[in-house]
Structure 1
Amino acid sequence: MQVVSVREEISIPSGVSVSIEDKKVAVKGKKGELHRDFSFARFLTIRQEDSKIILEATFLNRKEKATLYSIRRHIENMIVGVQNGYRYYLKIIFTHFPITVKVVNDYVQITNLIGEKNIRTARIMPGVKVTVKGEDIVVEGTDIEKVSQTAANIELASKIRDFDRRIFSDGIYIYKKEVIS
């Protein structure tokens, strides 16, 4: 069943400027600037009125309606990101062999995971800051997708295969996500 008309409004807070040009949205705030291209959504019109972003579409099927609400959430995440930013916390867990984690250029190096001699690496996405404090790793940035992808890269690089997870719980795990206030 098709929905006849959908109109969604996103309010723009003070201190944040938004520019829209051919479904390309740029959001600028005190923490930085984010750009996103939504030109794949041909059924959607994005425009700005006063201090609001208007998303409008007509005769949507179920998939198009879901895409519209996803785009709305992406824009809201961009606004929150340039205002405050996002932070993910990861915990280094080991039982016998101490894991060493350090940041080298655009990579996180993980050594001595369950006594391995090889060095595991995880890519840090551009615009993301990673700091290692003891047994905690803090991942910060303005773009939630890049921050979460960097945290996932670190978690995946420390994944142990072919061992019983109940006994060998060594690795690096995400334990907290927050908006920086």
Structure 2
Amino acid sequence: MSTKQIEEFKDQVDIPEGVTVTVNKHMVSFVGPLGKTHKSFRNIPINIEVNEGKVLLTAINQKKKDYAILHTARSIIRNICEGLVTGYTIKMKVVFSHFPITVKVEGKKILIENFQGERAPRITHSVGNTKVIPKGEDVILTGEVWTDVTQTAANIELKSKVKNKDHRVFLDGIYSFEKNKGIEK
């Protein structure tokens, strides 16, 4: 295999100012101005090193699949570093036609009450350090880790899904309509 092909299986991520990254075997810890988090790369076959403000990634094997996994790991690390500096925001809209839906937050629990007139609330949970703020007919999700914020939004959308009815007619639910970098207050 030529040296050019071997260089393709190496990549690096620049660490922004104010963010520190430490590696302990397969566990990568991040500390930034907005908080701290960690990510396990145990199931991803790459070697990770931190050197002079850069995270160096090397694939263990030289197959097409390993090339793709290497760039996935690069994107995960880059998104976490960016999120610890700027953060992420997702805005969701509460849509209903007859029964007014209310969203309440109790710790990590998110309660969706009066969905299609149901007596018991539908309950879902926020993932990671994601903050859920209901404001009238909007629900604002903010956090440092993009995967946690988007997974929380997906959990809310799935819990407010209409079942056993025609989804073209019954449009009730909570839907995301805006995704931004930066934490909105």
**Structure-2-length-normalised TM-score:** 0.89
Partner of 1:19: 22
Partner of 2:165: 163
Are 1:39 and 2:34 an aligned pair? no
- Could you say what the CA RMSD is over the residues aligned between the two structures, in angstroms? 1.9
Amino-acid identity (%): 36
Report matched runs for 1:77-156 at 5 Å: 77-156=79-158
1:123-164, CA deviations, whole angstroms, 9 ceiling, x for partnerless residues?
122311111000000111112121111111111111011111
The number of residue pairs the alignment matches comes to 180
Unaligned runs of 5+ in 1: none
Q: Tell me, what secondary structure is at the counterpart of 1:25?
A: strand
Question: How big is the shift at 1:59?
Answer: 4.3
Question: How big is the shift at 1:46?
Answer: 1.5
Q: Tell me, what secondary structure is at the counterpart of 1:13?
A: coil
1:2-39, CA deviations, whole angstroms, 9 ceiling, x for partnerless residues?
x5342211111111111122232111110011211213
Higher strand share: 1
Partner of 2:11: 8
Question: How big is the shift at 1:58?
Answer: 5.8
C-alpha distance in 1, partners of 2:160/2:60? 47
Q: In structure 2, which of residues 60, 68, 71 is the aligned counterpart of residue 69 of structure 1?
A: 71
Unaligned runs of 5+ in 2: none
Q: In structure 2, which of residues 31, 52, 56 is the aligned counterpart of residue 28 of structure 1?
A: 31
Q: Which amino acid is 1:28 matched to?
A: V
- Tell me if structure 2 keeps the 8 A contact 1:17–1:29: yes
Evaluate the alpha carbon distance shift between residue 132 and residue 21 of structure 1 in structure 2; reply closer, same or farther with a 3 A threshold: same
Evaluate the alpha carbon distance shift between residue 64 and residue 176 of structure 1 in structure 2; reply closer, same or farther with a 3 A threshold: same
- Tell me if structure 2 keeps the 8 A contact 1:4–1:58: no
C-alpha distance in 2, partners of 1:121/1:4? 49
